Amino acid sequence: MIRSLAQVFLFAMLALALVPDRSSALEPKLPQDSWPQDSWPQWRGANRDNISPFKGIKTDWQAKPPALAWKIPGMGAGYASVSIVGDRLYTTGNVGETQSVIAVDLKKQTIAWSSPLTDSSPKHGYEGSRCTPTIDGDHLYAISSNGQISCLKVADGSLVWKKNFETEWKGRMMSGWGFSESPLVDGDWVLCTPGSAEAMIVCLDKKTGKEIWRSAVEDTGSKGSPGAGYSVMAISEGAGVKQYVQLIGRGLIGVRASDGKHLWSYNKIANGVADIPTPIVKGDYVFGSTGYGDGGSALVKLQRTADGVEAVEQYARAANELQNHHGGMVLIGDHLYFGQGHNNGFPICIDLLSGDVKWGGRIRGEGSGSAAITAVDGHVIFRYQSGEIALVEATPTEYKLKGSFKPEFQERESWSHPVVCGGKLYLREQNILMCYDLTK
């Protein structure tokens, strides 16, 4: 009897060992474990969750706002955010007659190098750069606003390879404001969104630029417009299938990571002007939101089917109820924080799974226009289009403003997303880069 019980126990343990561990799939991590903790190597940070790991910021901004540490010119014209690894910061901008990647030496507060991505400055609405470079070891990847992905050496900005969206894949944007994607590096691959029906998303060998696969995605609904959106893709393990989730001109899509097969689409939140915010992924769930009159917000759950994956709507909110224009969103625990409303950054907190508003949505906030956000040390930083910076505690109980300030320099629309790295707040404002000290 003892032997038989022992055998049953052994067989049970073996069976459990063979069952896939779904808990590890709930929060997919990018393969960037070698990055230092205090780094921000790509759009929305190391894990693309828009949360800085830094602890110990000064939170009483009402009594004493953050102090300007330094500011320098040389970023060029544009709305790109910044990436930071070690003592180097990287961004993109229109410099002279070209669109370029700019590297900043943070110790010296000087331009280390500037390397052109294009032969001339791209022409489109709101001229200037959009792409935040993605840093991967000794190389970086950037997409120009006229649709060209390039690989450069971080040491000196020299070109390794480049591919043009139009000539390679018949690339297409949903409207005329320029390609705005920041590329995704996943292992040995780099991914981007040219936006054509035959190559909506492409996967390339990051060392050579050789095509691995292309994902064909036909029109997936009546709302919105064909082509790439202004969003940046995320990685999901939803329904137990590794996939790349993207917001395109026709709404949300998911493509299988192994071969680019189009798995599912969700069209309801698409609008005909610009689909922008990066989708939020948590376990089997994907949250998407867009601005403009025909946009809105929705949560879908990814479920296995006989031949793939389907997206099942959990809730949907119309544009006049819930929408993020282009400042982005951050998920902290089970709650989403963002600026609510088209051309408005009204602070709001919602429960992700139910869509219930915990607070906000009609709070005017400390500035005007849309708000770009980031999170650090239990707080959310709102950067309003008019320039004001506000610190809000990340709690679903109530709106707790900790203070605000107006940066020393403000020009045009302050749309570049703020970044906190190593206790410093970095604000790109067209040609000017500002650094504020957040530490105690």
Sort 10 into a burial class: Cβ within 10 Å, 0-12 / 13-18 / 19+: exposed
| Domains of the chain: residue spans and CATH | 25-437 (2.130.10.10)
What's this model's pTM, rounded to 2 decimal places? 0.92
Average pLDDT over residues 87-114: 98
Q: Are 83 and 133 in contact (CB under 8 A)?
A: yes
The pLDDT, as a whole number, for residue 149 is 98
Q: Which residues contact 370 (CB under 8 A, 6 or more apart)?
A: 291, 325, 326, 327, 339, 343, 344, 345, 384, 385, 415
Span 108-120, average pLDDT? 97
Does the pLDDT value for residue 242 go beyond 90?
yes
416 has a pLDDT exceeding 50: yes
Burial 204-236 (b: 16+ CB within 10 A, else e): bebeebeebbbbebeebeebbbbbbbbbbbbbb
Does the pLDDT at position 14 exceed 70? no
Per-residue pLDDT tens digits for 23-50: 333 344 444 444 556 799 999 999 999 9
Determine the average pLDDT of the residues in 173-180: 96
Residues above pLDDT 70, as percent of the chain: 92
pLDDT tens-place string over residues 123-170: 999 999 999 999 999 999 999 999 999 999 999 999 999 999 999 999
The confidence band for 440, taking pLDDT boundaries of 50, 70 and 90, is confident
Q: Report residue 18's pLDDT band, with 50, 70 and 90 as the boundaries.
A: very low
Going from the C-alpha of 389 to that of each of 232, 384, 431, the distances in angstroms are 24, 6, 19
The tokens of 403 are what?
A: 């203070």
Instruction: Write down the pLDDT at residue 36.
Output: 58
SS3 track for 48-115: CCCEECCCCECCCCCCCCCEEEEEEECCCEECCCCEEECCEEEEEEEECCEEEEEEEECCCCEEEEEE
Summarize pLDDT for 59-92 with one digit per residue, the tens: 999 999 999 999 999 999 999 999 999 999 999 9
Average pLDDT over the chain reads: 93
Question: 391 near 403, Cβ under 8 Å?
Answer: yes
| Mean pLDDT along residues 104-119 | 98
